[in-house]
Amino acid sequence: MSEARSAPEPVNNAPEPVNEAPARFSNEQAPRNWPTTMMFALTTLAAVVGVPWYGLAHGFHASSWVWFGVLLVANGMAITCGYHRLFAHSTYDAHPLLRLAYVLFGAMALQNSVLKWSADHRVHHRYIDDPDRDPYCAKRGFWFSHIGWMLRNYPSGNSDMSTVRDLQRDPVVAWQHRHYLAIALAMNIGLPLVIGWITGDIAGMLMLAGVLRLVLSHHFTFFINSLAHMWGGQPYTDENTARDNFVLAFFTHGEGYHNFHHMFAHDYRNGVRAWQWDPSKWFIRAMNGVGLARNLKRVPWFRIQRALLDAQFRRAERQRARHTGRAQIEQLRKRVAEEYDAFCKAVTTWTDLREQLAQAKRAVAERWEHSTIQMRLRELEYELRFQHRRMRLLQAQLD
């Protein structure tokens, strides 16, 4: 199946929560979530103390390190490709076998069921940066957004299951939710035990492929909630705290391009550029190639360029306001205004051409008319690419 070349506007159609408005954010401590606190404390202690001690005292088989790496990647990809891009955002459709693999290895990552995870994430997108309703709001600090939001029962952390009614109808997701604890125990303890028995290193496998893998998998994912809202650039929008960061993308299978994601949440890609590190995108594309994924949603290139230019214009205006004393500022202001006027005209023309193209398809118009419109659209996108480069040069002069 080929990739779908457009995606719907990133509008969340889920109904508003039926609960009363949550309590206003305050500095008062919420009740401790003891099961989660103990789980994080014990696994971290085992990873920091137990794993080095066992390695020095007994050593690890090479097979234990190999399986540690394999399962760490499997957990990460199950969260990024499955929990996040498939279930939470529906950026593509997946075969039941692939969905099953996602829910199994996602449970192994021990980040709750697909339903709970997706409900929290959809609310995060709807109320991003709202300290009262965003479950892991970065404006409440690094610790809170990274792990603190799970250690206490904050009102903002109450999952609104009305946002995942579509997923409740998915038999694979419903099965995982019903049997989550059993699946999580089987994948986190049973699977390493079986692999360790086969390879002859049961204890070492439990330490590396069990404990260390789990702790690293947790914190790599948590970095997206914390650091990806604090560290990096904002090329697409500065209306929220989400950032693009290559370093985070490397450790999170492409999720570090978070500014793009919050602007275009219904695109199956996060690293939209060919050179950007996004193994999740490549995996989904590979699954599409073998028939296990289809209907891959992509935001039109013009809309991406439009967001880049719009963000550049806003930054240029702010910088111009800060440098009113510079002699050449009036000339630069005029050039920015001219570029913005050309940008607005290009957007209007693009919108009109897309509508004409849609009408031509509906009317089964002559082939030459259809081709002419497509050619003009390509020319317009080519012109916009050059305008993006001109704005980067103007930006450098304003800095």
pLDDT digits (tens, 9 = 90+) for 40-62: 999 999 999 999 999 999 999 99
| Largest distance between two CA atoms of the chain | 77
250 lies in the same domain as 313:
no
Write down the mean pLDDT value for the chain.
84
Whether 140 and 181 map to the same domain: the answer is yes
Asked if 103 and 246 sit in the same domain, the reply is yes
Report yes or no on 8 lying in a domain: no
Lowest mean pLDDT among 233-242, 258-267, 341-350, 385-394: 385-394
> Within a domain: residue 10?
no
**DSSP 8-state secondary structure symbol assigned to residue 276:** S
The reply to whether 243 and 312 lie within a common domain is no
Q: Which of 271, 294, 317 is the last residue of a domain?
A: 294
3-state secondary structure of 32: strand
Question: Given this model, what pLDDT does residue 387 score?
Answer: 57
Residue 169 lies in a domain: yes
1 assigned to some structural domain: no
The whole domain housing 364 covers 301-398
Domain boundary among 279, 294, 309: 294
Q: Is the pLDDT of residue 210 over 60?
A: yes
- Do 275 and 306 lie in one domain? The reply is no
- Asked whether residue 12 is domain-assigned, the answer is no
Q: Residue 13 falls within a domain, yes or no?
A: no
| Residue 22 placed within a domain | no
Instruction: Based on the fold, state whether residues 122 and 161 are members of the same structural domain.
Output: yes
274 with 326, same domain: the answer is no
How many domains in the chain?
Answer: 2
Examine the domain organization and report whether 226 and 153 are in the same domain.
yes
**Same structural domain for residues 282 and 355?**
no
Other C-beta atoms closer than 10 Å to the C-beta of 237 total 17
Asked, for residue 195, whether it belongs to a domain, the answer is yes
pLDDT score recorded for residue 350: 62
- Is the model's pLDDT at 20 over the cut of 90? no
Q: Are residues 197 and 310 in the same domain?
A: no
- Last residue of some domain: 236, 271, 294? 294
**How high is the pLDDT of residue 332?**
57
**223 and 332: one domain?**
no
Give the pairing type, strands 93-94 and 293-294.
Answer: antiparallel
Task: Verify that 174 and 92 share a domain, yes or no.
Answer: yes
How would residue 307 be classed by pLDDT, with cut points 50, 70 and 90?
A: confident
